[in-house]
């Protein structure tokens, strides 16, 4: 279903805009994450860091961007795995099982994040090599997350898929031909659940066909229903390199 949606967006994009207005860029990114959160599934509310000793890896993601004058489409994918191992100081309940105090517990959190974004430059002002753009964005983030606890004779897992449509603002200040600043914030809140994402980037454009971003990105998910809870917060340094081609 996700592949069909992406293909439909690509087809719509190419039909809607003339070839001469099109710029395509894509590449990879690296993030040094500061990670925290909680999970609860038919039992105790468990802190990833304090109770389980979970630490995130340093994920590499991939991105593709399509630009046609004021219209911009962005697609991103990253897979994150965080693992921990710790002697439990107190018993915890998870998926209807009780993990007793003083057992050695191995834990794992994994999630795949798929993102698709459209934004429009409502304001687009240019002066020689200077420029300012600002406009609304619509973004869909799909988190496919799972938590696994293994120890004391038990091996239980909890999984959740969260499709999160968000609204926000994105802006860019072009300081010179070779340098620009970008900022973005978006989120959603419903039925006591919230999702917030933000990032700020310094973009270096040393060559015609390549640019490099350095900045900071963060996100926070707070989700709960009658029996389950999943809170995630990940933030940290973001490095990103892109190859650029203009038609």
For the domain that residue 58 is a member of, what is the CATH number?
2.40.128.90
Tell me whether residue 16 is in a domain: no
Q: How confident is the model at residue 227 (pLDDT cuts 50, 70, 90)?
A: confident
Domain count, the chain: 1
Q: What are the residue ranges of helices labelled H in 148-196?
A: none
| pLDDT tens track for 172-185 | 999 988 999 999 99
* Nearest one of 205, 213, 244, 238 to 66, comparing CA atoms: 244
Tell me whether residue 154 is in a domain: yes
Q: What is the pTM of this model?
A: 0.82
Would you state the pLDDT for residue 81?
87
Range of the domain at 64: 30-246
Tell me whether residue 21 is in a domain: no
Tell me whether residue 8 is in a domain: no
Residue count of the chain:
247
Tell me whether residue 211 is in a domain: yes
Written as six digits, the tokens of 172 are 């860019």
Tell me whether residue 9 is in a domain: no
Q: What is the mean pLDDT of the chain?
A: 87
Burial class (CB in 10 A: 0-12, 13-18, 19+), 194: middle
**Tokens 């990879």 -> residue:** 28
Tell me whether residue 75 is in a domain: yes
Tell me whether residue 117 is in a domain: yes
């Amino acid at each position: 279903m996700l592949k069909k949606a992406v293909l439909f967006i690509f087809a719509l994009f190419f039909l809607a805009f003339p070839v001469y207005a099109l710029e395509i860029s894509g590449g990879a990114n690296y993030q040094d994450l500061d990670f925290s959160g909680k999970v609860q599934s038919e039992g105790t509310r468990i802190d990833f860091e304090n109770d389980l000793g979970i630490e995130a890896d340093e994920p590499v993601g991939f991105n593709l961007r399509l630009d046609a004058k004021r219209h911009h489409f962005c697609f991103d994918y990253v897979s994150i795995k965080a693992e921990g191992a710790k002697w439990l100081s107190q018993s915890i309940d998870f998926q209807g099982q009780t993990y007793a105090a003083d057992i050695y517990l191995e834990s794992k959190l994994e999630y795949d994040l798929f993102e698709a974004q459209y934004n429009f430059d409502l304001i687009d002002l240019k002066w020689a090599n200077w420029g300012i753009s600002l406009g609304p964005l619509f973004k869909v983030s799909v988190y496919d997350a799972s938590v696994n606890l293994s120890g004391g004779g038990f091996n239980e897992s909890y999984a959740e898929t969260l499709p999160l449509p968000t609204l926000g603002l994105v802006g860019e200040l072009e300081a010179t031909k070779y340098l620009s600043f970008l900022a973005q914030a978006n989120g959603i809140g419903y039925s006591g659940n919230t999702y917030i994402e933000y990032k700020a980037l310094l973009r270096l454009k040393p060559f015609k066909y390549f640019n490099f971003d350095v900045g900071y990105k963060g996100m926070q998910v707070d989700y709960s229903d009658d029996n389950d809870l999943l809170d995630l917060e990940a933030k940290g340094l973001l490095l990103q390199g892109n190859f650029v081609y203009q038609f």
